[in-house]
């Protein structure tokens, strides 16, 4: 069969597949494949249609946007079509976009673009007449959408009346409705508790919320919206800059992305892309890329449109965070507390910028809730440095021979009995430090950067030392000799000497680091710091009873029981004794100063950026002395954020939650007012 016939057959197959996946995505909010896989199908179809234009048709998915309108909603026609955007997936494609812009404009200079994050939400169009909202609709197929006016009126960010004394006679405002990450997690938790079906991701949750036939259900879900542009403008005078148009919309009462700004040329675009990509995991909402739009309105008019997208804009996509693959097996890993974690062994798949072949299933309750079986096709998600996880099963693709995952009765590493305490989701190996896996994890944690910070004592080296019976507990680390080390793989004389120097340096530490390094169950960095600040020294903590422990901020009955139980065990006290004999030492912490005004009593404070007057540790100590605690992330419970130079995305999160932000001068003033000498 000739190439043209083969291409025609493949084009027909692709169109059928894309139509099927469009229906699953737009009409049912239940996608079967990852966005990256859908993009690949569209790119293949577009390439074939370009090579064989005789098979290109006006009803091809490459010429249309989205899907049909859903049943139950009246269809409405947009005054101007809601077009999609072409995509770029690498720097070369962005450079090609810029090159085409300049060629069409016959312009040799650097083009100014307005750059914005690309939210992974639901595109909507809001029609205003004489400043009043008269209709709200989904994108639909780009020309016709669903009339969801009543539901959109329940979204706080949807302006009912424009904040201007001279409203336009008629104007369409375009925006993206989304569900914040935290609200998405809470919604799924409620749905699962009520026996309902959880949403796959925040985008599907937002779409499902907007398509509720009962607007009261939509109102219960904390949807938000950013606006990004205009459709029909009629006779309204619009700024000749897209960025200035966004400022006009903000003046009318809409929320615009605080990250939006103008950039110059390809280099400016790529720098913006990298900046937002670095912030991606800290943003309170999902973004799957950034958008570049020619800023000048006259140039946009000159550039015009193709069938489904404007020529003057492009979406630069981030590496996919979700992909679809197959579960080949499920094994169990043993952690430092004996917890058995089921791990899905996957057919390798590229996701989040790396090839993933393993993903966590957390615990057996999660395995049962998601109904993951060996042989299943699953969605896998990897965000930033977070361990990849199985998000959900594609039930329609389950093979007949898919097998259930069973919890082992014996530890896969040491053979000890596996126990699951009543009321706990986690099953544990009962072998303690007699289990090589637990021993390795305990030692890795002890040597880690945020614990004792023994540079060079990494995971592979710890495993070798345990396997050769050279390390049994943390105290053995300080008895290692060069002769023990030089025999190990990839460990020469100099590497051994460097490691011994790092071990020597680690003897001088802080009580908080030491407590964290011990690996007491549920005692993380913040709790370790609170314990050190409250008791001042280890001996007082070891002798503390439950009543004493419960006076420490963030220590409840369960954690108090873990702490007292740890220090009651003779083997743990023996390891601590040997560590102190080996020279591990710390200066006594200054207990909370009862003479100071407790200005921050019980408050959670977040530090971001660099301070000029003090180090981060000094600032943390000052907060502790005034009764507060320093946390790593901004939440609704945060009292205030201290912003130094070059603050990160925590500032944006604080503004989203309306948490007060103090600059360094205001923070220092508060410390002085509370009685601290700065």
- Residue 69: the pLDDT is 45
User: Which of 648 and 234 is assigned the larger pLDDT?
Assistant: 234
Share the mean pLDDT of the chain: 87
Which residues belong to CATH 3.30.470.30 in the chain? 75-317
Residue 189 CB burial class (10 angstroms; 0-12, 13-18, ≥19): exposed
Q: What is the CATH number of domain 3-63?
A: 1.10.287.610
pLDDT tens figures, 393-412: 988 899 999 999 999 999 99
Could you count the other beta carbons within 10 Å of the beta carbon of residue 631? Answer: 18
Q: What is the β-pairing status of strands 377-381 and 389-393?
A: antiparallel
Task: Give the contacts of 31 (CB within 8 A, at least 6 positions apart).
Answer: 21, 24, 25, 38, 200, 204
Which residues belong to CATH 3.40.50.10190 in the chain? 604-673
Angle at 444 between CA 443 and CA 448, to 5 degrees: 120
The residue-averaged pLDDT of 260-278 equals 95
User: Which of 477 and 670 is assigned the larger pLDDT?
Assistant: 477
pLDDT tens figures, 599-632: 777 788 888 888 888 887 778 878 877 777 787 7
Residue 59 predicted with pLDDT over 90: no
For residues 139 and 145, the answer to whether their CB atoms sit within 8 Å is: yes
For a pLDDT cut of 90, what percent of the chain falls above it? 47
- Residue 597: the pLDDT is 54
Superfamily of structural domain 432-506: 5' to 3' exonuclease, C-terminal subdomain (1.10.150.20)
- Residue 1: the pLDDT is 44
Superfamily of structural domain 604-673: BRCT domain (3.40.50.10190)
Choosing among 3.90.320.10, 3.90.1280.10, 3.40.190.10, 2.40.50.140, the CATH entry for 322-419 is 2.40.50.140
> Of 565, 555, 570, which Cα lies nearest the Cα of 629?
555
Which residues belong to CATH 1.10.150.20 in the chain? 432-506, 511-586
Helix, strand, or coil here: 645? strand
- Mean pLDDT is lowest, of 70-74, 345-349, 438-442, 509-513, for 70-74
d(CA 608, CA 214): 42
Q: How far apart are the first and last CA of the chain?
A: 83
- Residue 315: the pLDDT is 95
Could you tell me the pTM of the whole model? 0.54
Residue with tokens 């345990």: 466
> Of 558, 192, 562, which Cα lies nearest the Cα of 365?
192
- Residue 589: the pLDDT is 60
For a pLDDT cut of 70, what percent of the chain falls above it? 93
SS (H, E, C) 188-248: HHHHHHCCCCCCCCHHHHHHHHHCCCCHHHHHCCCCEEEEEEECCCCCCCCCCEHHHHHHH
d(CA 125, CA 136): 6
d(CA 341, CA 621): 36
Residue 56 predicted with pLDDT over 80: no
Q: Write 345-349 long-range contacts (CB < 8 A, 24+).
A: 346/378, 346/380, 349/323, 349/324, 349/325, 349/380
In which band, very low, low, confident or very high, does the pLDDT at 4 lie, cut at 50, 70 and 90?
A: confident
Give the residue numbers marked as catalytic.
118
> Of 111, 11, 113, 106, which Cα lies nearest the Cα of 53?
11
Superfamily of structural domain 75-317: DNA ligase/mRNA capping enzyme (3.30.470.30)
Q: What is the CATH number of domain 511-586?
A: 1.10.150.20
Q: Which two tokens stand for residue 430?
A: 């009962």
Which residues belong to CATH 2.40.50.140 in the chain? 322-419
User: Which of 94 and 385 is assigned the larger pLDDT?
Assistant: 94
d(CA 579, CA 509): 12
- Residue 382: the pLDDT is 80
> Of 576, 220, 111, which Cα lies nearest the Cα of 208?
220
The residue-averaged pLDDT of 111-138 equals 95
Q: Which two tokens stand for residue 190?
A: 């409620």
Residue 308 predicted with pLDDT over 80: no
d(CA 486, CA 480): 11
d(CA 174, CA 125): 5
Q: What Rg do the C-alpha atoms of the chain give, in angstroms? A: 29
pLDDT tens figures, 372-396: 999 999 989 886 556 888 988 988 8
Task: Give the contacts of 189 (CB within 8 A, at least 6 positions apart).
Answer: none
d(CA 437, CA 625): 39
Residue with tokens 């944690």: 445
Strand positions, DSSP E, 258-319 = 261-264, 287-294, 313-317
């Amino acid at each position: 069969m000739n190439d043209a016939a083969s291409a025609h057959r493949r084009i027909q197959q692709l169109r059928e597949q894309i139509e099927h996946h469009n229906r699953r995505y737009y009409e049912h909010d239940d996608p079967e494949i990852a966005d990256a896989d859908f993009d690949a199908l569209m790119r293949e179809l577009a390439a074939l249609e370009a090579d064989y234009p005789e098979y290109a048709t006006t009803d091809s998915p490459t010429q249309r946007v989205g899907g049909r309108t859903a049943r139950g909603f009246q269809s409405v026609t947009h005054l101007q079509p809601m077009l999609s955007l072409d995509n770029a997936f690498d720097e070369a494609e962005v450079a090609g976009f810029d090159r085409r812009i300049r060629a069409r404009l016959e312009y040799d200079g650097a083009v100014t673009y307005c750059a914005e994050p690309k939210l992974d939400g639901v595109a909507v169009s809001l029609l205003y007449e004489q400043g009043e909202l008269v209709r709200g609709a989904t994108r639909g197929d780009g020309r016709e959408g669903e009339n969801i006016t009543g539901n959109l009126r329940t979204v706080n960010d949807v302006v009912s009346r424009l904040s201007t004394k001279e409203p336009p006679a008629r104007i369409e405002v375009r925006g993206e409705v989304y569900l914040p990450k935290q609200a998405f997690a809470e919604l799924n938790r409620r749905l699962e508790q009520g026996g309902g079906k959880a949403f796959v991701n925040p985008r599907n949750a937002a779409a499902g919320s907007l398509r509720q036939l009962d607007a009261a259900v939509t109102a219960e879900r904390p949807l938000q919206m950013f606006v990004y542009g205009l459709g029909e403008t009629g006779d309204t005078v619009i700024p000749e800059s897209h960025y200035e148009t966004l400022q006009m919309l903000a003046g009318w009462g809409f929320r615009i992305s605080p990250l939006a700004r103008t950039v110059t040329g390809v280099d400016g675009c790529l720098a913006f892309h990298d900046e937002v990509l670095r912030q991606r995991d800290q943003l309170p909402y999902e973004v799957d890329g950034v958008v570049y739009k020619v800023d000048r309105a006259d140039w946009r008019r000159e550039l015009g449109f193709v069938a489904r997208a404007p020529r003057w804009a492009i979406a630069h996509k981030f590496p996919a965070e979700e992909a679809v693959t197959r579960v080949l097996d499920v094994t169990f890993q043993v952690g430092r507390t004996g917890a058995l974690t089921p791990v899905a062994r996957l057919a390798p798949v590229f996701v989040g910028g790396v090839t993933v072949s393993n993903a966590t299933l957390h615990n057996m309750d999660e395995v049962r809730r998601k109904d993951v079986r060996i042989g299943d096709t699953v969605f896998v998600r990897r965000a930033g440095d977070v361990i990849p996880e199985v998000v959900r099963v594609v039930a329609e693709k389950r093979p007949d021979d898919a097998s259930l995952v069973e919890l082992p009765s014996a530890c896969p590493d040491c053979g000890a009995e596996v126990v699951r305490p009543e009321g706990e989701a986690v099953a544990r190996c009962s072998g303690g430090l007699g289990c090589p896996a637990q021993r390795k994890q305990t030692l890795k944690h002890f040597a880690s950067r945020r614990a004792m910070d023994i540079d060079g004592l990494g995971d592979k080296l710890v495993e070798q030392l345990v396997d050769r019976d050279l390390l049994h507990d943390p105290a053995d680390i300080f008895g290692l000799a060069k002769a023990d080390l030089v025999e190990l793989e990839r460990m020469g004389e100099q590497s051994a000497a460097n490691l011994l120097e790092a071990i020597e340096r680690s003897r001088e530490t802080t009580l908080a680091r030491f407590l964290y390094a011990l690996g007491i169950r549920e005692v993380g960095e913040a709790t370790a710091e609170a314990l050190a600040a409250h008791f001042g020294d280890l001996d007082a903590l070891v002798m503390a009873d439950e009543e004493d422990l419960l006076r420490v901020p963030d220590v409840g009955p369960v954690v108090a029981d873990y702490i007292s139980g740890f220090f009651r065990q003779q083997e743990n006290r023996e390891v601590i004794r040997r560590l102190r004999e080996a020279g591990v030492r710390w200066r006594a912490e200054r207990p909370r100063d009862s003479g100071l005004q407790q200005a921050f009593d019980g408050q959670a404070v977040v530090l971001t950026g660099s301070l000029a007057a003090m180090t981060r540790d000094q600032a943390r100590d000052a907060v502790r002395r005034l009764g507060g605690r320093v946390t790593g992330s901004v939440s609704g419970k945060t009292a205030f954020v201290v912003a130094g130079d070059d603050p990160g995305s925590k500032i944006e999160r604080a503004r989203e939650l309306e948490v007060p932000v103090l600059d360094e001068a205001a923070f220092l003033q508060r410390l002085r007012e509370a009685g601290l000498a700065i």
